[in-house]
Amino acid sequence: MEYNGEREQTECLEFMFGQIEDSMSSENFDQLKEAVYMREDTASTYVGDGLAVPHGRVNGLDAEYVAVCLCKNGVDWPSEDCTAKMVVMIGVDKSKISTYLSVLQKIIKWKKTSGEDINSLSCEAVKASFEDMLA
């Protein structure tokens, strides 16, 4: 997905939540939303190089959810010092810690090794890369 709205972190997150809302049960969705916001309150999920990985661990999530959003205008995550141009939201079951770490590791490695400028990436190319990476 592509986000062209304000540089506000909350707006970007709400946009992403809006996109994934229908893909899971409303109970799981509410829990994930709460978990993601709580995690951001604890510490920023900006990992550097224009990449932010907000995430939440939720009880009873049936599968792993990864949503990728390109933000060509940049989003303050949460301040100007950390401008996220790609936001990858991860939702995993609370007990699947290894799965979460594995997904996160793959995403960060992919970003580091691809070396491509986020502005030059298309949604289709990113989707293909992620499908390939997480397969």
Residue choice 79, 105, 114, 119 for contact with other proteins (CB under 8 A): 105
> Does residue 100 interact with other proteins by CB under 8 A?
yes
**CA 86 to chain CA centroid, nearest Å:** 8
- Considering only the stretches 63-71, 73-81, 95-103, 123-131, report the one whose residues sit in contact with other proteins under the rule CB under 8 A: 95-103
Q: Which is nearer to other proteins, 29 or 46 (CB)?
A: 46
> Does residue 85 interact with other proteins by CB under 8 A?
no
The answer to whether the beta carbons of residues 70 and 97 sit under 8 Å apart is no
- Considering only the stretches 12-20, 71-79, 92-100, 118-126, report the one whose residues sit in contact with other proteins under the rule CB under 8 A: 92-100
Name beta bridge partners: 69.
87
> Does residue 57 interact with other proteins by CB under 8 A?
yes
> Does residue 108 interact with other proteins by CB under 8 A?
yes
